[in-house]
Structure 1
Amino acid sequence: MTLTVKDLRDAEPRDKQYKLTDRDGLYVLVHPNGGKYFRYDYRFGGKRKTLALGTFPETSLRQARDALHEAKQQVKSGLDPALSRRIEKAGLTKNTFEAIAVEFLGQHEHEWSETHYVRVKRMLEADVIPWLGNRPVSALTAPEVLEVLRRIEKRGALESAARTKQIIGQVLRYAIATGRSARDVAADLRGALKAPTRGSFAAIEDPKELGALLRAIDNYEGSFLVRMALALQPYVFARPGNLVSMMWDDIDLDTRLWELDAEKMKMRRPHAVPLSTQAISILNEIRPLTGSSRFVFASFHGTGDKHICREAPGMAIRRMGYKGRQTMHGFRTTGSTLLHEAGFRSDMIEKQLAHSERNKSKAAYDRSTLLPERRQMMQHWGNFLEKCKE
C-alpha cells in the first residue's frame, strides 16, 4: 500500500494507536491524541531499532520519504541513522573529531565488552575530546595529536598515552573509511612517545615483600575507595578494568561469589570468582558507603552512577613507592606464581584468571568451571595473604 496525503488527513484517532503502512518500510503511527508520527524500523548491530522521521503535517509525506531514503543509505554504508540524528541534535558538525569519535563508539558498542567500551569512551572524553573535539579531522596535524598525548605522559601514565594514541588512530582510520579524512596523522607519531615498559607486568613474588605491600595498602592515606580497591585486588586478582567496574548486583555475599556476564569479560565468556572470607570482609567494609549505588567502587563526582577511574589504584601503587615493582595487573602474576608454588593445579589457576584454553580442540570440550575446587583454592589464598601481612 502507498499512502497519499489525503489518507493521512483523513486518518482519525482511535482508542489505541494504529499503523498506516507506506512503501519501502515507512509507516505512520496514529496516536489516540491525534498525532501522526512517521517511523522506520531497521536492524543495526544485530538489534531492531526505530527511527523517528517527523510528525504530519509539520513533516510532509514527501519529506518523510526523502528522510527514509537517506536513512536507508546510511544503514547500507554501515552508519546508524539514529546515531547520526543524535550527532545533529547535539549540534556537532559531522566532520569534527568529536562527531566521528561518537560514531566510532556507536559502531563498536555492541561488539566490545562493556568494560572495554566504557574505558575507551572515558579515555576519549577525558583526554582527547576537550582538546581535539571541535577540530575537523581533515585538518588535524601530528603535532596537535602529540600535544594531547604529552599531557598524558606528564602524569606518568605511559601505557595510557600509548593506548590513547592507538584509539585516536582508530578514530582517524574510521574517518578515512567514511570519506571524511585522507590520512591518519597519529601514524606519524611512531617513536615520538616514551616507550612503556614491555613484557610482564611488574609483580612481587616474594611472600615477605608481598606482606610489606599489603601492610602499606592498609596504611594508604588517599581515597578510601581507592584503598579498598587496592585491598581487594590481591584477594581476587581480577583484570583492573573488571575490578573498578565491579557491581553490587553481580555479587552474592551469602554464597560468596562474584559473577560476571560474558559481555564484561575480555574473552567474552561468563566468569565466576569465588570470594574468600577476607574478600567478603573488605566488601562489607565498603557496603555502608556504596551499597545503594550501582558500582562497588562508585565515584561520587557528577551523577554518582560511575565508578572510580581504572588508573586510580595503579597510580596509588606508584605513589606508595612501588613503581616498577608492582602493578594492579601484576597481582594476577603474583597469585599465579605463588599458587603454583603451593602445588595447585594449573587448570584451576588458569580458570581463576579467566584465561581461555589455547588448544581449540580441548577448548571445545572444556565446559567445567572447577568452582568447588577454586573455592578451596581461593580461601587458601586468602589465608596465605593474611599470614603474609601479619
Structure 2
Amino acid sequence: MMLGKVEDISLYEVKYKAETILNTVANGSDPKAIQQKEQVNKYAHLKNATFADIAQAWRDHKTSSRQQSKSKKPAFSESTLKFWDLCLGYMCRDIGDLRMNDITSEMILSVCEAIQHNDNQATFVGASTRLYTEKVFSFAVARGLCDKNVAIDTRGELAPANSGNHLPAITKPDQFATLLHDMSNFKGANKLTLEAMNLLPYVFVRSIDLRSMRWQDIDWDNDTWAFSPTKGEGRDDMVSHLVVPLATQVIARLRNIQSITGHKEYVFASMRGSSNAYISKATMVQIFHRLGYKDVQCAHGFRASAKTLLMEQPELRYSDIVTELQLGHRIKDTHGGAYNRLDEIDTRVQMMQDWADYIDKLRDYAKT
C-alpha cells in the first residue's frame, strides 16, 4: 500500500506510518481499510504529536495553501516566515516536546511573559508569540489533533503588541539590517514609491514630509533640504523650519529621481490623478505590511530607529541634543532658552553622513 508521494511526505511520517501498519497487521486488522478512514484527515498521524510537530504542520499548511491559491497572491515574504519561526521558536524551546493535550494556558502565558521582559521589541514579539500559538492550537483542534485551544484563555493577559503611544520601530542593529535588506530587495511597487521607501531611513523625517518633498526646497550647492515640517506649525515642541543635511548617498538618489519628476513640483509626485499630488500614505503602509513588518516597523518609526542607534552604537555615539535637533524637536539649552535651528549644524552634517554610511554597512552585512 502507498504511504504517500515522496515530495509530500517527511521521513518522520514514513517511519510513523510504517510502524502503524506493522502494528495493525500484528493485531489482525486491515491497514488499507484503516488508511481509507484516515484519508478523511490527512493529519491523523499527528494525533499524539508534540507542539513542535504541529506548529511545523501549521506553517506548512499556511505556506502551501497560499501557493496553491487561485488568487495568485504572492507567497509569504521571507521576513514573515522568519518572524513566524522566531515566535514559535520561543514556544518550542520551552514546550515544544510536550503533546498538545498536556499543555496548559499557564505554560503558554509564562513563555510569553518571559519574552515581553526581554528586549526592546519584546512586547510585540511576546504578544505575537501568543497569537501564533493560538493559531497552532486552532489548527489542531479543527483537525481533531487536540481537545481544546487553551491559548484562548491567555487573551488579554499580556501587554498589547503596540502598547503605549510609541509607533513600532526596530532599534536592534541586526534586525534593522534585515529590514534594510528586505526593503532594498522589495519589487512590489512602482519606482517612485520604492525610492521614497528606501530614502526614508537616510533622512528619518515624517512620512508626510518626505512624500511632500519639493524640488525647490533642495539646496544642491550646500547639500541640504530645508522645509517646514507639517506637524511643526503651532506646536511648542516642534520647530517650524527644519534643515536636513543630505549625505552623498541621498544626493545620488535624488539625482536619479530628478530625471523622472524633476519637471514637477514634488520629488515624489503621484503618477496618477492631480499633477499637484504626491504619493499617498497608504502606498507606504502597504509595503511594510507586505514585507511582513506590520506592527514591527512603520514609516514614522525610522525616527526612533535612527535616534536610538545614533546614540547607542559605539561607532556613532551622537548626543541626545544633536539627534533631537535633527528630528526637529524644540529643546532648551542650559539657560532655559531654545536652541536655534542651525545650532550644531556642522555636527549634524557629519552625523547624517556617518548615519548613511552606517546603514549602508548594515544593509551590506545583511546580504551576507
**What TM-score, normalized to structure 1?**
0.47
| Structure with greater proportional strand content | 1
The two structures have a TM-score, normalised by structure 2, of: 0.50
